[in-house]
């Protein structure tokens, strides 16, 4: 029992080292940007399906692209994350308004 757990711990450790190594290999500021930008773009696309995109999301996405072009990946990642947060807020708004709009209706 004890030996088994030692072996499995060893395997886990190996896996952990391997995965950090491969992560380190794939990572780097540009890859971080690509991941963050893809997530933001996907959320904004969803907001588009709901017909409820926000202008500041578009601005933040454009800022992210501009910063990435200048290889300023810290800024690019920050802008992409902001865009994703804004897009998610607009999705939340669209979904909650599916019912909430009735509160404003003149009756």
Partner 1 sequence: MATRVGRTGRRLSVRFLLISLASLVVTLLQAPAGADSVDPAAEARAFRDYFLHKFPNVKPDDFVNGPYALNEDMRRQWEEKEQFPPYEFSLENGKELFARPFANGKHYADCFADQGIAIRQNYPQFDAASGKVVTLELALNQCREANGEKAISYTGEDMAALTAYMAYTSRGMPFDIKIPNDPRAIEAYENGKRYFYTRRGQLNFSCATCHVQNPGEHLRAEVLAPALGILNAMPIYRSEWGGMGTTSRRFISCNSQVRGVPLPPQSDEYRDLEYYLSYVSNGLPISGPGSRP
Residue among 41 and 58 whose Cβ is closer to partner 1: 58
Q: Which is nearer to partner 1, 76 or 82 (CB)?
A: 82
| Minimum separation from the CB atom of position 79 to partner 1 (A) | 16
Residue closer to partner 1, measured from CB, 36 or 87: 87
Query: Judging by beta carbons within 10 Å of its beta carbon (0-12, 13-18, 19+), is residue 51 exposed, middle or buried?
Result: exposed
- Tell which residue, 41, 26, 25, has the closest CA to residue 79: 41
Q: Give the residues lining the site for partner 1 (CB under 8 A).
A: 51-58, 86, 89-90, 93-94, 97, 100-102, 104-107
* Cβ-based nearer residue to partner 1, 24 or 55: 55
- At closest approach, how far in Å is the CB of 95 from partner 1? 11
- Closest distance of CB 60 from partner 1, Å: 11
Residue located via tokens 């696309």: 45
Contacts of 7 (CB under 8 A, 6+ apart): none
The alpha carbon torsion through 84, 91, 86, 42 (nearest 10 deg) reads 20
């Amino acid at each position: 029992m004890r030996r088994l757990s030692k072996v499995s711990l060893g395997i886990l450790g190996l896996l952990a080292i391997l995965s950090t190594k491969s992560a380190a290999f794939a990572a780097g500021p540009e890859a971080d940007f690509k991941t963050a930008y893809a997530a933001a773009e996907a959320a904004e696309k969803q907001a588009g399906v709901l017909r409820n995109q926000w202008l500041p999301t578009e601005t933040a996405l454009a800022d992210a692209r501009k910063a990435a072009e200048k290889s300023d990946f810290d800024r690019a990642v920050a802008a992409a994350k902001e865009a994703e947060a804004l897009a998610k807020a607009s999705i939340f708004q669209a979904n909650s308004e599916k019912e909430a709009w009735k509160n404003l209706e003149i009756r």
